[in-house]
Structure 1
Amino acid sequence: MESKEALTISEPSAVISVLERLGDKERHVAVGASLVDISHSRIKIKVEDLQASTHTELFDVSRHSELLFARQYFRLGSILSLVVIPTNSEALCYYFLELDRMRCMNK
């Protein structure tokens, strides 16, 4: 499975957009969140809303265990911690503690 994510923060909320691909099928998920805590190097968000495309039958977690891991923290009420990683480039990099994922966004 392949996935891509984008993060948009507009205080007091955030949206994580996820594109999941499995073979030639894809599923789009929008995770709406509220900002719980912000510091110099950390952002905590709380998942408030989930919107997914209708291809859910194509992503059965009982047949594809990697999907379960990828989605386990995208549940209503979950708290996610993002740590901002300093870089020497113009990219903004952050690390999702719960998901064990680092992502970078360019200008």
Structure 2
Amino acid sequence: MKPTVSSTAHWLVLGAINAACIFSLTYSPTHYMENISYQTITQQWLEDSNQLNTEEYMTIGHGRLTQTTLESLNGKIRNSTISADVIRESNHHVQIKIRTVKLSQDNELFAIEKTPDLFFKRQYVLQEGAVLNYELIPTTDKNTMCVYVHELSRLRCMNH
């Protein structure tokens, strides 16, 4: 004698399978870990053969983003710290609004006169109230976060 399964049980199983399929299509993990400090170090040779060294640190979490940039050139060090509110967020995109900007000096960061395009981009980025869009790029390493900042046309990959 064959055991019989009610049609209701069949529909429940099919419904659960469909729900799991829909969830797997819409769910994708975030491309960063909240409240983890990511960092990167870059070196850039300028036209006058000087080397500009930059360290960047970024933390995203609880509706806030903090980014610190340290630049060194010819033994001098300058820094900037940006605090921002996350105003829109998805698995692949973070939009922020700059709340405060603190610079180590009243002057802009280094190499402005040597990279005029960077000067104009920084004028916008370092203004309180500016809105920035960070596109999160998937990586295979969970300890790495890659972001493309649309307003700077800049891609940065950072590790923690």
- TM-score per shorter chain, which class? 0.7 to 0.9
Number of the residue aligned with 1:49 = 100
AA of the residue aligned to 1:85: I
Number of the residue aligned with 1:12 = 63
Number of the residue aligned with 1:39 = 90
Bigger share in helix: 2
After superposition, give the CA deviation of every residue in 1:63-97 in whole Å (9 maximum; x if it has no partner): 44445145222211110100110111231111111
* Residues 9 and 49 of structure 1, relative CA distance in 2, 3 Å threshold: same
Q: 5+ unaligned residues in a row in structure 1: which ranges?
A: none
Whether the aligned pair in 2 keeps the contact of 1:27 and 1:56 (CA below 8 Å) is no
Q: 5+ unaligned residues in a row in structure 2: which ranges?
A: 1-51
Number of the residue aligned with 1:99 = 152
AA of the residue aligned to 1:44: Q
Among candidates 13, 18, 22, match of residue 73 of structure 2 = 22
Which of these two proteins has the greater Rg computed from alpha carbons? 2
AA of the residue aligned to 1:74: L
My pick for the range that moved more, 19-28 or 95-104, is 19-28
My pick for the range that moved more, 13-22 or 37-46, is 13-22
Share of identical aligned residues, percent? 32
- Quote the Cα distance in structure 2 between the aligned partners of 1:58 and 1:43: 25
AA of the residue aligned to 1:101: R
- Measured after TM superposition, the shift of residue 5 of structure 1 is 2.0
Bigger share in strand: 1
> TM-score with structure 1 length normalisation?
0.81
User: How many residues are matched?
Assistant: 106
Whether the aligned pair in 1 keeps the contact of 2:121 and 2:151 (CA below 8 Å) is no
Number of the residue aligned with 2:138 = 86
Whether the aligned pair in 2 keeps the contact of 1:37 and 1:44 (CA below 8 Å) is yes
> Could you say what the CA RMSD is over the residues aligned between the two structures, in angstroms?
2.4
> TM-score with structure 2 length normalisation?
0.57
Q: Secondary structure at the match of 1:54?
A: coil
